[in-house]
Structures are given as C-alpha cells and as structure tokens.
C-alpha cells in the first residue's frame, strides 16, 4: 500500500481527499471511512467506483437549478400581467424545488385567491407550512386534501396531517390518524414522524419499532432509492440512539 501511495502521489492523496469529502457530505455506511483511510488510494478508488459514480444520477438533478431559476424569473414577470391560478401554481412549485418556502407559500396563497379549483395548491401550501414550522396553519389545507382524497400524494397528505395534529397538541387525533396511515403507507417520513410522536408520549418500545421499520427497508432497496432515503436512515438511527433501551419487544406494543 505504501508503494502504491508513493507511486500515485499526489493523485492518490487527492483521491483520498475527494472520497473523504464525499463521505462527509453523503454519509454512507460507516465502514467506508475505514476503507478510505486504511487502504489509501486503492480504498478511495474502490469507494469512488461503488459510491460516487452511482451518485452521478442524483447530481444531475442539481444541474436543473439553472433552467429552474430562469423559469422562475420568467414567471415572476408573467404574473404581473397575467396573475392566473396556473401561473402562480407553477411559480409556487418552482419556489418549493428551489427551497424558497416563504415565497412558495405566498405564491400558493395567490393561486388560491385566484380561485384555484384543484387540491394541489392547498396541499402544497400546507406542506410549506409544515416545513416552515407552522403546523397550525397547515391543518386546514391538509384536512381539505385528505377529506377529498384520503390517499392524496400516496398518503403523504394524511401522514403530514397526523404530524400537524401531533405538533398542535391534538394527540388523540394524531394517534388515530397515524395508526390508520401506517397500515397503508410505507413512507419513511411518516414512519419517522410517528416514531417521534410515540417517543414524545414515552411510548419508547413503539417508537423504536417504527424507527427500526425505516432501517428494515434498507437491505432490499435498489441503490438509487437507498441514496435518496439516507436522510431518513440517519434520522431513524439518531432517534434510536436517543431512546432508552427497552426490554419488551417493540412489536408487542404496536
């Protein structure tokens, strides 16, 4: 290994630095850091082939930022002359993709004020409110979506509504809706929010069960989905570390 490191210097060192930076940003399985550090340039090269190259598909999404921002600029001009529901809905969607949640929420407000006749702007405004830490404002919009279409957005609307109930002190409604949704939905977001709700109620065995359900999906997931789900895997692991160990089987408390 020392001969290889000397032979590849300084490129081997650069490979290791690049691999370590990618590892810190993407945070894949922990064993990779040992592969990179102890196998030197060879380990870094193995890591890049296995972890970085497949990530290129996800990186392509980042290149869409330039046409998206160009379209946002166009729509910001268009709505001055044509403040239609459709234009404001599209603008709100683009703001959400760009992470500008306050602007997205305002755009959906205007779409709804312009007599929107679909559920989407109400639902997306509710999602913005949740992400902005305003669950009380999210409830009417999410209730509208769920009452008209219980499986809206693959049951994410119902899961977020249960989360909003939980964060506004409506504990019985939250518990009932979470139990209903988790029988059907497999969204990690819903599982995680339910686990957090259970943990807040000191129902630790049940909370551990639902956090573990997120991690149980990992082995059977295709690589591209596993990469998308990494934030939820990390959150689930973090929650499990914070929860006290329980001697009783979590599944019995389900």
Instruction: Answer whether residue 172 shows pLDDT above 90.
Output: yes
Q: Is there a contact between 36 and 21 (Cβ–Cβ < 8 Å)?
A: no
What predicted TM-score, i.e. pTM, was given to this entire model? 0.78
Rounded (10°) angle between helices 120-131 and 85-97: 30
Q: Is there a contact between 179 and 222 (Cβ–Cβ < 8 Å)?
A: no
Side-chain half-sphere CA neighbours of 43 within 13 A = 18
Task: Read off the pLDDT of residues 27-84 as tens digits, 9 standing for 90 and up.
Answer: 777 888 888 888 888 888 887 887 776 765 544 554 466 788 899 999 999 999 999 9
Instruction: Answer whether residue 150 shows pLDDT above 70.
Output: yes
State the Cα torsion 71-126-233-238 to the nearest 10°.
120
């Amino acid at each position: 290994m020392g001969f290889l490191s000397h032979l590849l210097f300084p490129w081997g060192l650069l490979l290791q630095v690049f691999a370590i930076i990618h590892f810190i940003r993407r945070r894949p399985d922990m064993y990779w850091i040992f592969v990179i550090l102890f196998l030197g340039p060879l380990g870094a090269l193995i890591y890049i082939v296995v972890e970085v190259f497949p990530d290129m598909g996800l990186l392509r999404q980042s290149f869409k930022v330039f046409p998206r921002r160009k379209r946002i600029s166009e729509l910001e001009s268009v709505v001055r002359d044509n403040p239609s529901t459709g234009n404001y809905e599209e603008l709100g969607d683009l703001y959400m993709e760009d992470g500008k949640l306050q602007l997205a929420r305002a755009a959906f407000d205007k779409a709804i004020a312009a007599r929107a006749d679909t559920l989407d702007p109400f639902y997306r405004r509710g999602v913005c409110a949740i992400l902005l830490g305003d669950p009380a404002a999210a409830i009417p919009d999410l209730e509208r979506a769920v009452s008209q279409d219980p499986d809206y957005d693959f049951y994410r609307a119902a899961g977020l509504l249960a989360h909003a109930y939980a964060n506004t002190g409506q504990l019985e409604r939250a518990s009932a809706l979470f139990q209903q949704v988790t029988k059907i939905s497999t969204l990690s977001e819903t599982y995680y929010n339910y686990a957090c709700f259970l943990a807040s109620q000191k129902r630790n065995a049940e909370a551990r069960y639902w956090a573990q359900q997120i991690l149980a999906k990992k082995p059977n997931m295709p690589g591209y989905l596993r990469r998308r789900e990494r934030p939820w895997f990390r959150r689930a692991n973090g929650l499990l570390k914070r929860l006290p160990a329980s001697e009783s089987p979590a599944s019995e408390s389900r």
